[in-house]
């Protein structure tokens, strides 16, 4: 055990209506941890279950001193559950996994060693051979992950895999909210933890219940990714985006309007037929561009003022002090 951390390993399990799988999951984890000799804690976060999951967690915790539980009064989502689990984690290495028995605890020891001995900040699971429906899960997942790789720059094949391992400093340095749990590696990268890799993991068919996620999660995930990219790129410098876009739009509208006026004056001077500027649709498009340009520029200016007065404007992740 590292003196800095009370435990070798913290396993954070977020769950919603998984009562049937919990005893088997806990037994499996205990078997692996006992074999490896880890001093560990299992933090089970019940995200407002209505099937008696919390009662089972309380029973399991009473029988096993390594288990800790957190119960939400209502369903807040996986990001909220992970945030609370990360806040409570005391282990040198923090592992997240789902409660549906599709993630195998047998993968944990190697992922732990990759963090503790290999020096990685994050090890992300890669379900190479998924056991889900190919049409509703596999194909959308491939498209989603390809888009995520393009935008984030992280060469991970399965960004959304729930089985991941983190250095403790990583989970304490990031804030997971909304539905950003899908992009924890990207959040960590933006926080300065760039030593990220992946490990192929065994994926099993769901044994109990049914999936809590539909195809809509890929659409929401894409929108969240765009939001995260924008905030990480321009969050503290909104004028760089809105100011540039506004200036370009304003200049484009101005150039078009001036060109139309000059063209009309030249034609009128030479006695040629001409069309009044105000009769041309392009003139009104130019006016719209001018107005949009001004609005974008002002949006950037207001955003910059808000950013400069934010209480978090000088929050930085410090690696070390001596």
Backbone phi and psi for residue 124, each to the nearest 5 degrees, phi listed first: -100, 135
pLDDT tens sequence across 118-133 = 999 999 999 877 666 5
How far is the CA of 14 from the CAs of 65, 75, 113, in angstroms? Answer: 19, 11, 23
Distance CA 79, CA 36 (A): 29
The model's pTM: 0.73
Give the Cβ contact number of residue 267 at 10 Å: 13
Give the Cβ contact number of residue 258 at 10 Å: 11
Give long-range contacts, CB 8 A cutoff, 24+ apart: 244-250.
245/296, 245/300, 246/292, 246/293, 246/294, 246/295, 246/296, 246/297, 246/298, 246/299, 246/300, 247/293, 247/297, 248/293, 249/289, 249/290, 249/292, 249/293, 249/296, 250/289, 250/290, 250/293, 250/294, 250/297
HSE on the CB side for 253, CA within 13 Å? Answer: 18
The packing angle between helices 22-36 and 53-63, to 10°, is 30
Q: What is the mean pLDDT of residues 229-244?
A: 78
**What are the structure tokens assigned to 20, written together?**
């049937």
Distance CA 275, CA 309 (A): 51
pLDDT, the chain, mean = 86
**What are the structure tokens assigned to 170, written together?**
């990583």
How far is the CA of 294 from the CAs of 126, 164, 241, 299, 303, in angstroms? Answer: 47, 46, 13, 9, 14
SS3 58: helix
Per cent of the chain over pLDDT 70 is 86
pLDDT tens sequence across 29-46 = 999 999 999 999 999 999
Backbone phi and psi for residue 227, each to the nearest 5 degrees, phi listed first: -60, -45
User: How many angstroms from the chain centroid is the CA of residue 183?
Assistant: 2
**Highest mean pLDDT out of 21-25, 176-180, 200-204, 274-278:** 21-25
Q: What is the mean pLDDT of residues 248-273?
A: 89
In 3D, which of 317, 7, 9 has the Cα closest to residue 170? 317
Of 95-104, 198-207, 307-316, the poorest mean pLDDT is in 307-316
**H or E stretch including 256?**
helix 238-269
* Cβ contact 193:171 at 8 Å: no
* Cβ contact 182:159 at 8 Å: yes
pLDDT at residue 285 tops 90: yes
């Amino acid at each position: 055990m590292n003196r800095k951390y009370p435990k070798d390993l913290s396993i954070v399990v977020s769950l919603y209506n998984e009562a049937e799988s919990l005893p088997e999951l806990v037994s499996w984890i205990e078997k692996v941890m006992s074999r490896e000799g880890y001093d560990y804690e299992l933090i089970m976060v019940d995200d407002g279950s209505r099937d008696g999951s919390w009662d089972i967690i309380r029973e399991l915790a009473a029988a096993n001193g390594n288990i800790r539980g957190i119960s939400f009064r209502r369903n807040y989502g996986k990001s909220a559950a992970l945030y609370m689990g990360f806040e409570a984690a005391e282990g040198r290495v923090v592992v997240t996994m789902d409660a549906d028995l599709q993630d195998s605890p047998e993968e944990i020891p190697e992922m732990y060693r990759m963090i503790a001995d290999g020096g990685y900040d994050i090890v992300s699971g890669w379900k190479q051979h998924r056991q889900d429906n190919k049409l509703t899960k596999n194909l959308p997942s491939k498209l989603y992950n390809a888009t995520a790789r393009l935008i984030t720059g992280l060469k991970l094949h399965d960004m959304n895999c729930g089985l991941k391992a983190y250095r403790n400093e990583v989970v304490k340095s990031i804030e997971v909210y909304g539905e950003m749990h899908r992009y924890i590696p990207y959040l960590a990268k933006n926080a300065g933890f760039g030593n990220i890799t992946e490990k192929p993991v065994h994926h099993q068919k769901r044994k109990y219940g049914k999936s809590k996620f539909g195809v809509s999660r890929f659409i929401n995930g894409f929108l969240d990714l765009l939001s995260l990219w924008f905030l990480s790129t321009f969050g503290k410098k909104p004028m760089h985006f809105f100011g540039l876009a506004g200036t370009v739009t304003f200049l484009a509208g101005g150039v078009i309007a001036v060109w139309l006026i000059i063209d009309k004056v030249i034609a009128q001077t030479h006695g040629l037929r001409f069309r009044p500027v105000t009769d041309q649709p392009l003139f009104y498009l130019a006016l719209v561009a001018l107005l949009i340009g001004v609005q974008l520029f002002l949006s950037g200016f207001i955003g910059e003022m808000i950013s400069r007065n934010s209480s978090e404007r000088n929050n930085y992740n410090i690696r070390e002090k001596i």
